[in-house]
Structure 1
Amino acid sequence: MYTSLIEKLKHTEAIRWFPNHQVQESWIIEVEQELGFALPPSYRWWLLNYGQAMLSGTEILTVAPPEDREYADTDILYIYRLADEQAKQEGKLELFIPDEDEYYYFDTRTADDRGEYKVMRLDYFNGEPEVYADSFAEFLEKLIDQRTPRNP
């Protein structure tokens, strides 16, 4: 199902993932219960099979062990708890916040028939969100492609 992404993860240097840092299903269920909605299937797959990764020196948000969630700034639920009410009403679930002029989030109002949410990119300069990818898997593939040097 995610064959293309798995191949890219094997050969990329743009993203560094950490073996044996997978997330437990029970942690995901706890997060979903507090959020009040399901995490998208490709993100759940990522959490269960990879769990943690850094892209260009910044961690992609993950699900931390419950005992660490209160202070883990890489935990998607911890960051969601810090979000203002307007962001929550707009369906924003932050996903990746690089030290650049942009950030990425799930738009939880956009679930498709598979339960995937669109990944939005917000440019701090123009303040306009745009659809970056139709799923988490596509988001990762696109970022890997964009940040992998091309051979001449």
Structure 2
Amino acid sequence: MYTSLIEKLAHTKALKWFPNHQVQESWIVEVEQELGFSLPPSYRWWLLNYGQALLSGTAILTITSSEHREYTDTDILYIYRLADEQTKQEGKLELFIPDEDEYYYFDTRTTDERGEFKVMRLDYFNGEPEVYADSFAEFLEKLIDQRTPRNA
């Protein structure tokens, strides 16, 4: 199902993932209960099979155990809890916040027939969100492609 992404993950230098740091299903269920909605299937797959990664040195948000959540700034629920009410009402679930002039988030109001959320990119300069990818898997593939040198 995610053959192309698995191939890219096996050979990329743009994204560094950490073997044996997968997320436990019970952690995902706990997060979904607090959020009040299910996480997208490709993101759940990523969490259960890979779990943690750095893309160009910045963490893609993940899920940690509840006892470590309050101390882990890479936990998606921890970051969501810090968000203001307007952000939550707009359906934003932050996903990747690089030290650049942009950030990426799930638009939880855009569930498709597979249960995937669109991944949005917000440019800090113009303030306009744009659809970056139709799923988490597509988001990862696009970022890997964009950050991989052409001659690699």
Q: Could you tell me the TM-score, scaled by structure 1's length?
A: 0.99
Deviations 1:76-112 (A, max 9, x none): 0000000000000000000000000000000000000
1:150 deviates by 0.5
Deviations 1:114-142 (A, max 9, x none): 00000000000000000000000000000
Cα separation, 1, equivalents of 2:151 and 2:60: 26
Aligned to 2:46: 46
TM-align CA RMSD = 0.8
Cα separation, 1, equivalents of 2:149 and 2:65: 35
Aligned to 2:56: 56
Moved over 4 A (4+): none
Deviations 1:60-82 (A, max 9, x none): 00001111011210000000000
Structure 1, unmatched stretches of 5+, are none
Aligned to 1:112: 112
Structure 2, unmatched stretches of 5+, are none
Verify: 1:141 aligned to 2:141, yes or no. Answer: yes
Q: Identity of counterpart residues, as a percentage?
A: 88
Aligned to 1:33: 33
Aligned to 1:89: 89
| Alignment-mate amino acid for residue 123 of structure 2 | D
Look up the SS of the partner of 2:130 in the other structure. Answer: strand
| Count of aligned residue pairs for this structure pair | 152
Q: Could you tell me the TM-score, scaled by structure 2's length?
A: 0.99
Aligned to 1:67: 67
